[in-house]
Amino acid sequence: MAKIISVISGKGGVGKTTTVSNLGAALVKRGKNVIVIDGNITTPNLSLHLGIPFYPITLHDVLKRKTPIEAAIYEHSSGMKIIPASLSADAVKDIKIEKLEGALLNLLGRADVILIDSAAGLGREALTAMKIADEIIVVTNPDLPSVTDALRTIKLAEESGTKVSGVVINRVKGKKHELSISEIKSMLNVPILTIVPEDSSVPKSIKKRKPVIHHKPNSRASTAFKKLAAKILGEPFKEKKKKKKSWFERLTFWLR
């Protein structure tokens, strides 16, 4: 039976969609059958991150009409399955995101993990994603506004009895003005699942419409997302030691 994990943040733009596309791809690499769902029906962009912006049948059709959810499943080249949301601005009218809970029942036997990319804020979309999840992953950046919103999200989850697996701290630059990891840990009081550095490979991978773990598998961000997948599965993670460059490799690097 699939485990449903929703990725939520409170504050927008902190890296939820990036986390979903990369965690999904990293779980597939660990042999899991994964379905990622764009639960952000007002401003969807999971399918943009994954490079297939047009799908004939989307989650909107499932929620609006009687289309079975199985008809909206597409296979991505990474091996994960995606249920996209419609990119059309009109499609969002009269949508009841709350219907997602019932629709998901038909998917439980079809995957090991179902990841839901939530919308920013704590409106209907995020609250539904929280309600239907077995557990949530909270994404934050190391700044006061996003950590405060992450805290609000965690409190709401705790009040509604949803398990919080932990927090992903994304876009860490190591600057003095940032909140430190220990400050974030003591504010949120949940496990820190992974720390993703600010890494230009991420926007470059989005431009290429690929998860960064495929675009630059050995980048620092990729390593952090692979670590997250191992943590979620309770499996060990071995960080690849970077091979020391020979003097010849160093010379050719500088002469490039």
Ligand X SMILES: Nc1ncnc2c1ncn2[C@@H]1O[C@H](COP(=O)(O)OP(=O)(O)OP(=O)(O)O)[C@@H](O)[C@H]1O
Residues that bind ligand X (CB under 6 A): 9, 12-18, 40, 120, 170-171, 196, 198-199, 202-203, 206, 221
Closest to ligand X by CB, 110 or 124: 124
Q: How many helices (H) and strands (E) does the chain have?
A: 11, 8
From the list ligand X, Mg ion, none, partner contacted by residue 12 (C-beta under 5 to 8 A by kind): ligand X
- In the complex, minimum distance from the CB of residue 255 to ligand X, in angstroms, rounded to a whole number: 29
According to the binding rule CB under 5 A, does residue 17 interact with Mg ion?
yes
Say if residues 118 and 9 touch (Cβ distance below 8 Å).
yes
Closest to Mg ion by CB, 51 or 185: 51
Instruction: List the beta bridge partners of residue 114.
Output: 4, 35
Q: How many CA atoms lie within 13 A of 88 on its CB side?
A: 13
Structure tokens given for 51: 């490079």
According to the binding rule CB under 5 A, does residue 205 interact with Mg ion?
no
Say if residues 13 and 91 touch (Cβ distance below 8 Å).
no
From the list ligand X, Mg ion, none, partner contacted by residue 15 (C-beta under 5 to 8 A by kind): ligand X
Closest to ligand X by CB, 30 or 208: 208
Cα distance between residue 82 and residue 54, in whole Å: 12
- In the complex, minimum distance from the CB of residue 45 to Mg ion, in angstroms, rounded to a whole number: 5
From the list Mg ion, ligand X, none, partner contacted by residue 13 (C-beta under 5 to 8 A by kind): ligand X
From the list ligand X, Mg ion, none, partner contacted by residue 206 (C-beta under 5 to 8 A by kind): ligand X
The continuous run of DSSP H or E covering 212 comes out as helix 212-215
Structure tokens given for 89: 């601005």
From the list ligand X, Mg ion, none, partner contacted by residue 199 (C-beta under 5 to 8 A by kind): ligand X
- In the complex, minimum distance from the CB of residue 70 to ligand X, in angstroms, rounded to a whole number: 26
Instruction: List the beta bridge partners of residue 82.
Output: 36, 74
Structure tokens given for 92: 């969002």
